[in-house]
């Protein structure tokens, strides 16, 4: 068990970060901190993917000298997935931030629970 | 290759390009384009449905020039084509039912943006239905989330923005779990195409290795999609999002968005994990327990609610519980019942939302029951439609809800361990449904003198026609259940 954890420390760190991000997104009251949690969570997934795609001693998957031997390069698919994932997470973060700005302008607070109680009090 | 096999790919691209073009159109142009695109997608799906039902086979459509293990694929049979057709029909009807409200509640310079979101939603739903690639599914899940968020917050009401924020937070938690799940799955199997993953998983299970990671992966993916489709403990965002957004959004969110995720989950169960392996894992019991908990708790919350839109929203929680309970039975019959309930719930819930708005309109826009007293006399069409929806939800024969309850009960009979809880909860939940829906129906048919003006059917023809279409759809699902269940069984047989 200990051996495995040590050998795959990158994946272990990625999972820990995922947990940290997930709990932050779920439990923080402050919306900016929630968004930070979201980004930690997504980045942890990219770390996991990069760690999985990397093969010790192999090169980046760019063909230079006509060398088409797959033994030379690392697995390119996880890198592609990371790129796609980054695009998705950027757009989601932008959307969350714009929602936060909307709410802050209207209620002058970043605390989502306080906004909810205030809305309930208004009764609309 | 038959030309008709291109249609699924065309319909996804068509909806996506319509979304791009709509962003530079005026509100009216965007509306016409959207209506055209949704109808065209419906017609194309109908053609694919007829073709696939006739041949009874499943087709793989290769996107791009890379052959199978590397490239991206669409895969469709009778079930997928039928779902796409159904989604297009419900979307068109919900939009038509809420057309006047869209004009009223959305600022004029933002109206075309609403149709951008609707087109994006359609394209992502179609992609979720047709795709055979896990990572593509993830990307379209996110597009679906973003466009649904846009649909909720478009009215710029404070309550809507708060609901959109809560919806985004829960959805992102769900998609985070889903993403890490498919990453581990990719790590285990080395494939992203669903059929190839399935082959690898079968090999893994046969060899008996990696049983814990596989179980964790299944759990992560299922929990992620369950959060996104608002299974019981994760439903906190739902009543606000459905209750305060504009009516077309509420109808589409409850009947399409959550169903898109559930359809993806069915696909994962059958095509990726493989149904026997999924049914043997403990995850299925968890789904069963949360499903029956949702059936009871959703109905109880609906009884306590004093706002007609929020009451219908809580009833959605209960109906999602039914669907997950069907999955939890772990049999083919349970799955057929769940898929039928997806159709019947989508048809009924959008009908209820649209007709409820007709009722609140003639009650001075109040949504509480006291003001709604006698509303069915002031708007007769909406009253009749709401009654039909309520009867269908309760499970009166001749309407669609009855058939799905019957199918659930039959499916439960075959499953000895889960028979008793399933049947008891089905009965209790039906009684609870009767309490809150019949309470509402009696309330709106109580004659009372109020100052609110009544609406004649002639004044709003589109609304009345939409309601009639909804009622016909509901009765059709209820009366012609035999061919529909046969279609579902045929589709499921070639699904994996």
Whether the Cβ atoms of residue B329 and residue B300 lie closer than 8 Å to each other: no
> Are A81 and B186 an interchain contact pair (Cβ–Cβ within 8 Å)?
yes
Q: Taking an 8 Å Cβ-Cβ cutoff, which residues of chain A contact chain B? A: 18, 21-22, 25-26, 31, 34, 38, 41-42, 44-45, 48-49, 52, 77-78, 81, 84-85, 88, 91-92, 95-96, 99-100, 102-103, 106-107, 112, 115-116, 119, 122, 124
> Are A103 and B179 an interchain contact pair (Cβ–Cβ within 8 Å)?
no
CA-nearest residue to B172 within chain A is A38
Domains of chain A are 2-122 (1.10.287.3510)
B173 contacts in chain A (CB < 8 Å): 22, 25-26
CA angle B213, B219, B222 (to 5 degrees): 140
The answer to whether the pTM exceeds 0.80 is: yes
Whether the Cβ atoms of residue B290 and residue B324 lie closer than 8 Å to each other: yes
Q: How far apart are the first and last CA of chain B?
A: 22
Distance in Å, alpha carbon of B212 to nearest chain A alpha carbon: 14
Residues in a beta bridge with B133: B193
Tens digit of pLDDT per residue, chain B (496 long)?
688 888 999 999 999 999 999 999 888 899 999 999 999 999 999 999 999 998 888 888 888 887 777 888 898 889 999 999 999 999 999 999 888 888 888 888 888 899 999 999 999 999 999 999 999 999 999 999 999 999 998 888 888 888 899 999 999 999 999 999 999 999 888 888 888 999 999 998 888 888 888 899 999 999 999 999 888 888 888 888 888 888 899 999 988 999 999 999 999 988 888 888 888 888 889 999 999 999 999 999 999 888 888 899 999 999 999 999 999 988 889 999 999 999 999 999 999 999 998 888 888 878 888 888 888 888 888 899 999 999 999 888 888 889 999 999 999 988 888 888 889 999 999 999 999 899 889 988 888 877 777 777 677 888 889 999 999 999 999 888 899 999 999 888 888 7
B192 contacts in chain A (CB < 8 Å): 77
Query: What does the alpha-carbon distance between residue B158 and residue B349 come to, in Å, rounded to a whole number?
Result: 25
Collapsed DSSP state (helix, strand, coil) of residue B72: strand
Q: Which residue among A49, A95, A107 places its CB closest to the CB of B183?
A: A49
Distance in Å, alpha carbon of A22 to nearest chain B alpha carbon: 7
Helix boundaries (H) for B362-398: 369-372, 375-378, 380-394
- Given CB atoms, is B158 within the 8 Å cutoff of chain A? yes
- Given CB atoms, is B164 within the 8 Å cutoff of chain A? yes
């Amino acid at each position: 068990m200990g051996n495995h954890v040590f050998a795959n420390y990158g994946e272990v760190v990625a999972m820990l970060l995922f947990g940290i991000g997930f709990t932050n997104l779920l439990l923080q009251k402050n919306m900016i901190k929630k968004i930070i949690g979201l980004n930690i969570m997504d980045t942890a997934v990219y770390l996991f993917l990069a760690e999985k795609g990397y093969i010790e001693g192999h090169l980046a998957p760019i063909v230079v000298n006509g060398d088409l031997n797959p033994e030379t390069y690392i697995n390119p698919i996880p890198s592609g997935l990371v790129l796609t994932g980054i695009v998705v997470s950027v757009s989601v973060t932008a959307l969350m931030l714009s929602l936060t700005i909307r709410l802050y302008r209207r209620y002058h607070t970043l605390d989502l629970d306080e906004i909810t109680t205030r809305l309930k009090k208004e009764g609309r | 290759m038959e030309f008709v096999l291109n249609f699924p790919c065309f319909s996804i691209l068509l909806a996506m390009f319509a979304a791009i073009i709509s962003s530079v159109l005026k509100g009216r142009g965007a509306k016409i384009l959207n209506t055209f695109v949704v109808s065209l997608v419906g017609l194309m799906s109908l053609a694919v449905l007829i073709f696939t039902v006739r041949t009874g086979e499943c087709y793989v459509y290769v996107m791009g020039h890379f052959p199978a293990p590397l490239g991206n694929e669409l895969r469709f049979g009778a079930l997928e084509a039928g779902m796409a057709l159904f989604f297009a029909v419900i979307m068109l009807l919900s939009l038509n039912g809420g057309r006047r409200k869209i004009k009223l509640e959305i600022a004029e310079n933002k109206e075309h943006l609403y149709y951008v979101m609707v087109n994006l939603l359609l394209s992502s739903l179609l992609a979720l239905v047709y795709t055979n690639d896990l990572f593509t599914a993830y990307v379209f899940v996110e597009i679906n989330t973003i466009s649904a968020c846009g649909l909720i917050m478009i009215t710029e009401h404070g309550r809507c923005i708060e609901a959109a924020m809560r919806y985004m937070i829960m959805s992102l938690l769900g998609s985070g779990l889903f993403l890490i799940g498919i990453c581990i799955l990719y790590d285990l199997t080395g494939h992203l195409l669903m059929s190839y993953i399935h082959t690898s998983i079968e090999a893994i299970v046969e060899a008996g290795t990696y049983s814990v990671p596989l179980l964790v992966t299944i759990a992560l993916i299922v929990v992620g999609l369950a959060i996104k489709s608002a299974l019981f403990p994760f439903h906190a965002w739902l009543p606000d999002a459905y209750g305060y957004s504009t009516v077309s959004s509420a109808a589409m969110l409850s009947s399409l968005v959550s169903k898109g995720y559930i359809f993806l989950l069915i696909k994962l169960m059958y095509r990726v994990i493989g149904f026997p392996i999924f049914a043997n894992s403990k995850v299925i019991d968890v789904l069963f327990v949360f499903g029956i908990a949702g059936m009871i708790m959703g109905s109880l919350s609906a009884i306590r609610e004093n706002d007609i839109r929020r009451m219908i929203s809580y009833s959605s929680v209960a109906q999602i519980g039914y669907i997950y309970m069907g999955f939890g039975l772990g049999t083919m019959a349970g799955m057929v019942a769940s898929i039928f309930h997806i159709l019947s719930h989508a048809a009924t819930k959008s009908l209820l939302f649209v007709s409820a708005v007709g009722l609140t309109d003639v009650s001075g826009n109040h949504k509480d029951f006291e003001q709604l007293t006698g509303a069915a006399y002031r708007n007769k069409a909406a009253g009749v439609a709401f009654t039909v929806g309520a009867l269908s939800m309760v499970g009166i024969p001749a309407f669609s809800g009855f058939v799905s309850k019957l199918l659930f009960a039959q499916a439960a009979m075959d499953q000895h361990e889960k028979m008793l809880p399933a049947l008891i909860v089905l009965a209790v939940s039906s009684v609870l449904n009767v309490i809150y829906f019949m309470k509402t129906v009696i309330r709106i048919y109580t004659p009372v003198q109020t100052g609110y003006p009544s609406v004649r059917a002639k004044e709003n023809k589109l609304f009345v026609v939409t309601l009639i279409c909804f009622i016909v759809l509901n009765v059709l699902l209820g009366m012609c259940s035999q061919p529909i269940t046969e279609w579902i069984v045929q589709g499921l047989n070639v699904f994996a």
